[in-house]
Amino acid sequence: MDPHRASRPLPLRQASEADGGGGPSPAARARARRPALREQRHPNAVTAPPLQRGSMPTRPWTGFWAGLASGLLLAASGLLGRREATAAAPRQPWERAAARRRAAFLAIAGASSVVATVLYAGARPDDTAPALAAVQVALFAILSAWVVTGFVTALMGFWVTLRGDRHGLSVRAVQDHVLAADARTAIVMPICEEHVPTVFAGLRATCESLMATGQAARFDVFVLSDSSTPAQVAAERAAWEDLRAALAEQSGAPVEVYLRHRQRRTHRKAGNVADFCRRWGRDYRYMVVLDADSVMSGDCLVTLAKLMEAHPRAGILQTATQPIGHATLHARAQQFAARLTGRLFTLGLQYWQLGESHYWGHNAILRLEPFMQHCGLAPLPGRGGLSGGILSHDFVEAALMRRAGYQVWLVPDLEGSYEQQPPDLLSELQRDRRWCQGNLMNARLVAEPGLHRVHRAMLAIGAMSYLAAPLWLAFLVSGAALWLSGGLLDGGMAASRIELVGLWLWALCMLFLPRVLGLIAVLLRGEQAAFGGTARLLVSAAFETALALLQAPVRMAAHALFVVVALTGIRLHWTSPPREATALAWGAAAQRLLPLSAVVAAAAAALATTAPHALAAVLPVAVPLLLSVPMAVFTSDARLGATLRARGLLLIPEEAGSPAVLRRAGLHAGRAARLLRAA
């Protein structure tokens, strides 16, 4: 008998059987008469196992300027200590391969950006505003470097798709591995005011799939709730009881599922996970973190634990999650793009990161002892929107795990890991606002002592993914200002028009070639049938690209606003994204997007009055912003998404041949929805 399971509390319905003898003991009868009082005093007394308290210390941050000074001091001293450590511990083959790949990456991206910037600066006519022209050239240099790095990453992902990666972590190495009996794993799902039927439907499908592997005894599930409204807490408790009862009725040993309602809700999701670690982390070797919309197959979970057993220096293993779930046009376009093009970026990042990869905060497994010892997150000091508890904790935890000497890997060929996309554009922007503020906060840690340079780069890239929006906006505005000043209207413009058009075409190619590479990879691997066939695949790709072009200016304007809000010190109000797809109301869309449309309309009207010849240059940005409200409403309609799916458009392999765990999740969610409607 598993000694850990022997110490766990039995549900109230099983308490009388645990006392032995010919019937319930007086103590058992007394406990049965007092459940309400006991739960009132200790809400988690019968829903969670006994405490095994451990520590998860936090280390104060050095700060950007102090960290930068420390790094310069180390560089000036010759890094003698690091050289001695490197000599004592020679680099592994994957580390040498990563160094070569990163050098090639920087060489290609750097050379392309420098050449493009030099050509752009030389092709410009003489400007009447040289200072403004210099600003625009500098912006072009930054943005061209950003675009090229994305393209090179996708190009590396294309290579891995066709040729594989012998230095990467692969599930093939542990197919015959036997999971040790003491390799215990906690599956934790932090939630806060979520849609209960959807959350527990996905969790039930995950538990059932895990039970089907025969390895359920090595896993426990913890639902970690930060919900506070009484109705929500009651609904979560009822759903937990139903889930345990449903699992107990199935054949085989059920997965133990616990529910913890946190009373002191500090530091959001990261604080919730840390609270679990301090209470029960000592009971487990590994921890799988799920989001409220996560679904994972049992084979995927077991394989993650096997990979951890086979690689004792691995601290975090991240799966390549596939978005799926909602039927709205917006969500289906996003999951199609993620399956076709996003996978190339994921594989490309893994190609040059290898054992210094990053962590997305969910659908991943962590080694608990070093996580508890080294990954405690202290708040960022100071005031304003970029201080306080860390929002985007995942990149920081990966950096701290690597600083402690453990590796962080992405496992690209591990299937069975799924999540939902936001159902509509407004929900996506709501999520992006939190991500924007979190990534800008993380940029304060770029110079933190001891971090690996790859993780410093990832912290900077995370911030740049949102800073790029105001930079693009500034580039467009500076170009319009130069045009109005007359600097782009003189005779020199005709001589340089071809060169400038060529550079713009080059930039567009860098942006859109990853989509072409994704298509080519599918065709070369003969996978087009899973996307509805070659013709439907091409039509779907064209449709998704057109929709992306329409939505890009809206995202750019919204992200630029988010950056301004974050940098001006306005704090973020935390809300969970919607898990159910409901068509947007015109009023809600107008309230959020109409101000942007009004500003653009006013600017376009002013430009048409002062410089009508320049109006054509801003139409590709202005028109989508003017149409943002109807676009958001129409793409939130599930009927449009269902119509396209019925015609085989925007189809992905997970829809063409739905995995069993997704079918079960959909079945349970549908049953729960019918029960709600009947009630």
pLDDT at position 677: 67
**577: pLDDT confidence band, cut at 50, 70 and 90?**
low
Q: What is the pLDDT of residues 424-441, one digit of tens each?
A: 999 999 999 989 999 999
The helix/strand/coil state of 441 is: helix
What's the chain's average pLDDT? 84
pLDDT of residue 13 exceeding 50, the answer is: no
Q: What is the CA radius of gyration of the chain?
A: 27
- Of residues 421 and 252, more confidently modeled: 421
**107: pLDDT confidence band, cut at 50, 70 and 90?**
very high
Residue 631, Cβ neighbours under 10 Å: how many? 20
What is the rounded CA–CA span in Å between residue 446 and residue 457?
8
Instruction: Give the long-range contacts of residues 593-600, CB within 8 A, separation 24 or more.
Output: 593/426, 593/554, 593/628, 593/629, 593/632, 594/629, 596/554, 596/557, 596/558, 596/625, 596/628, 597/625, 597/626, 597/628, 597/629, 600/557, 600/625, 600/626
pLDDT at position 34: 39
* Domain-embedded: residue 477: yes
* Domain-embedded: residue 617: no
Instruction: State which H helix or E strand residue 357 sits in.
Output: none
For the chain, the distance separating the N- and C-terminal CA atoms, rounded to the nearest angstrom, is 42
Average pLDDT for residues 519-530, to the nearest whole number?
Answer: 93
At position 592, the amino acid (one-letter code) is R
What is the rounded CA–CA span in Å between residue 202 and residue 427?
20
* Domain-embedded: residue 228: no
Q: Nearest CA to 320 among 304, 343, 299, 351?
A: 343
* Domain-embedded: residue 144: yes
Cα dihedral 83, 84, 88, 89 sign: negative
* Domain-embedded: residue 260: no
pLDDT at position 70: 80
pLDDT of residue 608 exceeding 90, the answer is: no
pLDDT at position 481: 72
- Helix 196-212 to helix 298-310 angle (10° resolution) is 60
Q: What is the pLDDT of residues 467-483, one digit of tens each?
A: 999 998 888 777 777 66
Is there a contact between 56 and 277 (Cβ–Cβ < 8 Å)? Answer: yes
pLDDT at position 383: 83
pLDDT at position 42: 47
pLDDT at position 529: 93
Q: What pairing do the DSSP bridges indicate for beta strands 314-319 and 364-367? A: antiparallel
Q: What is the pLDDT of residues 159-180, one digit of tens each?
A: 999 999 999 998 888 888 888 8
High-pLDDT (> 90) share of the chain, %: 56
What is the rounded CA–CA span in Å between residue 378 and residue 268?
13
pLDDT at position 326: 82
pLDDT of residue 12 exceeding 60, the answer is: no
Cα dihedral 310, 314, 315, 319 sign: negative
Is there a contact between 462 and 442 (Cβ–Cβ < 8 Å)? Answer: yes
pLDDT at position 126: 61
What is the rounded CA–CA span in Å between residue 300 and residue 411?
11
* Domain-embedded: residue 111: yes
* Residue numbers of the domain that contains 425: 97-169+293-583+636-679
* Domain-embedded: residue 616: no
- Of residues 543 and 572, more confidently modeled: 543
Q: What is the pLDDT of residues 300-331, one digit of tens each?
A: 999 999 999 999 999 999 999 999 878 899 99
DSSP H helices in 443-533: 453-485, 492-524
pLDDT at position 575: 56
* Domain-embedded: residue 427: yes
Q: Work out how many domains the chain is built from and give that number.
A: 1
The total number of residues written for the chain in this structure: 679
- Helix 343-353 to helix 93-123 angle (10° resolution) is 120
Tokens representing residue 83 in the block = 């050289």
The helix/strand/coil state of 262 is: coil
pLDDT at position 475: 85
pLDDT of residue 83 exceeding 90, the answer is: no
Q: What's the whole-model pTM score?
A: 0.87
pLDDT at position 11: 39
**511: pLDDT confidence band, cut at 50, 70 and 90?**
confident
The CA distances from residue 477 to 353, 483, 511, 655, in Å, are: 36, 10, 20, 43
Q: What is the pLDDT of residues 350-365, one digit of tens each?
A: 999 999 998 999 999 9
DSSP H helices in 354-424: 368-374, 393-403
The helix/strand/coil state of 450 is: coil
